[in-house]
Amino acid sequence: MARTVRTTAVAVILAATAAGCSGGGDPGSGAMSPEPTPSTTTAEPSSSPSPSASADGEKPERPAAMEQHDAEGAAAAAEYFLSLYNYTKTTGETAEWESMSHEACDFCRAVVERTTEIQREGLTLDGGDLSYRVLESYARDAATGIFPLDMEVTQEASTTTAPNGSVESSSEKQTDVMRIEMGLRADEWVVVTVAPKPEE
């Protein structure tokens, strides 16, 4: 079965979220995602983009900061989750990704479905290296228990090729600011929403 050397990431994120994919049952309801205010910012933005897992399929290391149940821990968990993307796509192993996916996260589920399709169809993904950085991290929302954060996510150009050599899809380099919402389930971080940052 064909395996990718590098994998696409934000192409799926941007395609899904541009269509309104969110973490709630109703993508447009916003019920799970109250708008945080700048005054609740608690973590410093990272100074430079962080690359995802290496292209050889090595599983990323879980950061120690994920043990914290605060805004810093939420940011570390969000970065780790994004770092799992290339690993998941490259290896076809979805268990770790699914363990961090809230059942309401449409984007999380779409990634698993696409990964399964890639493996089943024997598609090859080239390019699409992912990098990201935290722009702003917010305090826990008292009403929902959610820790929101904004991340700048960049994906290099990518091409998906079928076993017969034909190009199934391709995407250009893209950069977007994403709103990611993290929650705690049995003291473990889960991703509730991945969506474009709401307009102010």
Per-residue pLDDT tens digits for 149-167: 999 998 888 888 999 999 9
For residue 4, being part of any structural domain is answered with: no
Could you tell me the residue range of the domain that residue 23 belongs to? 10-196
For residue 5, being part of any structural domain is answered with: no
For residue 112, being part of any structural domain is answered with: yes
Give the residue-averaged pLDDT of 120-146. Answer: 89
Which band of pLDDT confidence, cut at 50, 70 and 90, is reported for residue 57? confident
For residue 160, being part of any structural domain is answered with: yes
Per-residue pLDDT tens digits for 73-115: 999 999 999 999 878 877 889 999 999 999 999 999 998 998 8
Contact criterion met (CB below 8 Å) for 89 and 4: yes
For residue 2, being part of any structural domain is answered with: no
* Number of structural domains the chain divides into: 1
Give the residue-averaged pLDDT of 35-64. Answer: 58
Check residue 25 and give its pLDDT. Answer: 34
For residue 90, being part of any structural domain is answered with: yes
Give the residue-averaged pLDDT of 68-75. Answer: 96
Q: Lowest-pLDDT range, 18-32, 49-63, 64-78, 81-95?
A: 18-32
For all residues of the chain together, what is the average pLDDT? 78
Q: Residue 164 maps to which CATH number?
A: 3.10.450
For residue 161, being part of any structural domain is answered with: yes
CA distance 4 to 70: 36
Cα(first)–Cα(last) distance of the chain, in Å?
46
Q: Residue 41: pLDDT above 80?
A: no
Q: Residue 168: pLDDT above 70?
A: yes
Check residue 1 and give its pLDDT. Answer: 40
Contact criterion met (CB below 8 Å) for 78 and 164: no
Q: At residue 14, what are phi and psi to the nearest 5 degrees?
A: -70, -40
Among 65, 85, 94, 171, CA closest to 131? 85
- Residue percentage of the chain with pLDDT more than 70: 72
Check residue 21 and give its pLDDT. Answer: 47
For residue 37, being part of any structural domain is answered with: yes
